[in-house]
Structure 1
Amino acid sequence: MHRRQISSIAHALHPVAAPLSDASVRTLLDRAVPDGDARLLDLGCGSGTWLLRAQAGRPGLRADGVDSDADTIAAARAAAEAAGLGDRVAFHAQDAADFSAAHRYDLVLSIGASHAFGGLLPTLKAADGHLAPGGTVLVGDCFWEHEPGQSTLDAGFSADEYDDLATTVDQVMAEGWVPLYGHVSTREEWDDYEWSWTGSVSRWALDHPEDPDHGQALDAAAEHRAAWLHGYRGTLGFVTLLLGKEPRP
């Protein structure tokens, strides 16, 4: 079973691939999405959930989503067509770092996709390259709630992979970005996300006992659950930032 297939199953009940509740997503979109006609770009859009939700009650929006997983992009296109949004949202199956467009965007999103660019600051640099004057960026990434112990490192992390929240924000500001709003995911949001992830994969395995991938799915859920409960629960945080930038001289 390919890891992308596991991810698709894991997010069946939690389509936002980040530890954010539906209420938090609505609040972030209400803060971030410009009024009236606007162009949005999601770098690392996955199944397109953010862009599809942004369209609710905003008929003037036009959006592009980019992700390297062709199957996920195909599912995003199907969801947009089913919602009657096929003429307002376009999805592109390609590396987000290589995407280019003939126009700039009023809002660029990249939530939990910094791995595609090599980290948070490179993600912001890529987003800036697509941003229209006066535009904003909505970016989500991890940070350390406190210094990781050995159990967190054993779960597959390195101590220098992230910084604490204050340092993370300081680094963002040092690159010329101005925080306009932020949301730190709560323990409840993290737990709901992780229980949904592991539970969806486990449920799939129990519902497909004859599938040759049955055992691998159970193992993947168990490995993920152990890494979370014994490793990074309460140590790994997630922050979503709405950022602007002073006009270029």
Structure 2
Amino acid sequence: MLELYQFEVSQYSEKVRLILDYKGLEYRKIEVTPGIGQLELYKMSGQRQVPVLKDGDTIVTDSTEIAFYLDRKYPEKPIIPTDPLLRGQCLLIEEWADESIGIKGRIAFIGALNQNPNFRTSMLPKEVPDFLKTLVGAVPGDLLSMLGTGAGFGPDAVKEATKALKQDLEALSLILQNRPYLVGDEPTLADLAVAGLSVILKQPGGDYLDIPDALKGKGIPGLADNTAYDTFFLWRDRFYMDYRKPLSSKGQGEAPPTTIDIE
């Protein structure tokens, strides 16, 4: 069986999970423990980042390379068009989504954590004691923003990322107003990348990710709750209903992630 080494909350891992579900491929999720688990992952794959796909003796890193590999190895329900124009549009949008929604979304997400105590505490696992959640929520947002400046997550970076994402969501909403998919009449890697990566902006409402129920359907304030982008998020949620298998699908969906030691 295919094995996906991942972080459950990683938007790039979600991009690959959505591709696997769309193609109807069975796979096992293996949660990588930050730190020591990433060192073990390096021994196996030569790098520390997730996602990593293991298919027998074949190891594939990077979400885009995994997508290309899956389309070559498992050509049923292809995700990369053969028509030159559609293929070019698909690859262009996929690359844009990685760089814009993926990277800028992460910056805006961290900015939202810094500035919104309620959003920050809602991200904590439900097992965290209430008193600790209170302490986390009480940390001044300005202090967190100052600490994040040196790492590229300061107020100016967050502002620019959020501004760019608003333009991106407006553009996606306009494109999807009167068409079912971003490229052509069938789902492609462009749709799968945009839909999967967008979980960093707003979590889908269904039972697709092993996250607290309070987070489902929630996201970055100012983006996830802005009605101007309803067209996009409604499209994304319909896409999930059509192609993403819920955790509760016994025998056909994925199980919650299993943490194991990597040999």
TM-score under structure 1 normalisation?
0.29
Between structures 1 and 2, the one with greater helix share: 2
Between structures 1 and 2, the one with greater strand share: 1
TM-score under structure 2 normalisation?
0.28
